[in-house]
Amino acid sequence: MVFKCVLTAVRASKIGAMKVRRGGKVMLPEAVMHSLMIAGVDYPMLFRISAAKSVEKEHTEKIRYIHCGVLEFTSPGNTIVLPDWMVAYLGADDFGNLVVESVSLPLGGYVKLRALEETFLKLHNPKAVLEHNLADFSALTKGVTIEIFHNNQTYHVSVCDIQAQNDDPRADSDGICIIDVDVVLDIDHPTLEDSQHRDSQPSLSFQQVNGSKESTVDSDLLRHGKAHEFMAFSGNGKTVCGSKETSNSSRKSTEITTEGYPSPESAYIPFAGEGRFLKR
């Protein structure tokens, strides 16, 4: 028997539910748990969540949906608490209506993920980071972009492909269950389309090169040829008394005189004068 209801969407950040924000599970009200038990829904309890659309929009817009599990049945009232990224993907409004229905998904056998940030692949062990974050997910949906966290950084990962286990009769589903199952994980590299989602870098920036900072020259300057070479001042100068002094490029810009000072090569002569005491 399939269970289905309509609940009010609440972002996890609105109520400070960090355990929901970091992962792919939701919070449901206690009344839903009793209804699931009456309907005979067995473990694992998995759900298909979609935004409630009007009749007019159902024929003009494609309704997005996502598969997920439940973290706990403690959400207040008639609400469903979701991760912020899940609300954004569904295109739901704050406190808008979401359709929640129970589903039965096949056990996963293969998952292909693509990180949308190149910096993620530069981590020490990106595959281990993914495996650690996927422990907070009960199900994955093909085509969905999820969020994972590592060292206070947020990364976006797209679910490119999923495959169920060969012996599962529900293998034609676009979602899989990843609870208590060994899944082959494959990591794909970011594409050119993925890089367009990132902020463009300024034309003049600083890059870390071998522990020192090096400026990046604007490409407009390179198109106009080499940068101008440094040229020293070649005009006429005046002395303090007002007389003009012509410039001479061959002469040193600064001359240091040592007149009145002892030569460094002269021998050291100790003090030979008469000394005095403060008190006699």
Domains of the chain with bracketed CATH: 4-103 (2.40.40.50), 108-195 (3.10.330.10)
| Chain length of the chain | 280
pLDDT tens digit sequence for 115-125:
999 999 999 99
pLDDT of residue 265: 54
Position 85 confidence tier, pLDDT thresholds 50, 70, 90: very high
Whether 212 has a pLDDT exceeding 50, the answer reads no
Going along the chain, which residue ranges are E strands? 4-11, 25-27, 46-51, 65-72, 79-82, 97-103, 108-115, 139-141, 145-150, 153-164, 175-177, 184-188, 205-209, 212-216, 237-238, 244-245
Position 162 confidence tier, pLDDT thresholds 50, 70, 90: very high
**Using CA atoms, how far apart are residues 240 and 242, in angstroms rounded to an integer?**
5
What is the pTM assigned to this prediction?
A: 0.66
pLDDT of residue 206: 29
pLDDT of residue 236: 63
pLDDT tens digit sequence for 193-205:
544 544 433 333 3
Least confident of 78-82, 137-141, 153-157, 169-173: 169-173
Enumerate helices (H) and strands (E) in the chain, giving the number of each.
9, 16
Mean pLDDT of the chain: 77
Whether 251 has a pLDDT exceeding 50, the answer reads no
pLDDT of residue 171: 67
Q: Are 149 and 133 in contact (CB under 8 A)?
A: yes
Average pLDDT for residues 36-57, to the nearest whole number?
84
Residue 87 class from Cβ within 10 Å (0-12 exposed, 13-18 middle, 19+ buried)?
Answer: buried
pLDDT of residue 244: 55
pLDDT of residue 173: 79
As a whole-number percent, the residues of the chain with pLDDT over 70 amount to 64
Contacts 24+ apart (CB under 8 A), 148-156: 149/22, 150/123, 155/115, 155/116, 155/117, 155/119, 155/120, 156/115, 156/116, 156/117, 156/197
Q: Give the β-pairing of 175-177 and 139-141.
A: antiparallel
Cα–Cα nearest to 25, from 65, 86, 67, 68: 68
Average pLDDT for residues 18-27, to the nearest whole number?
93
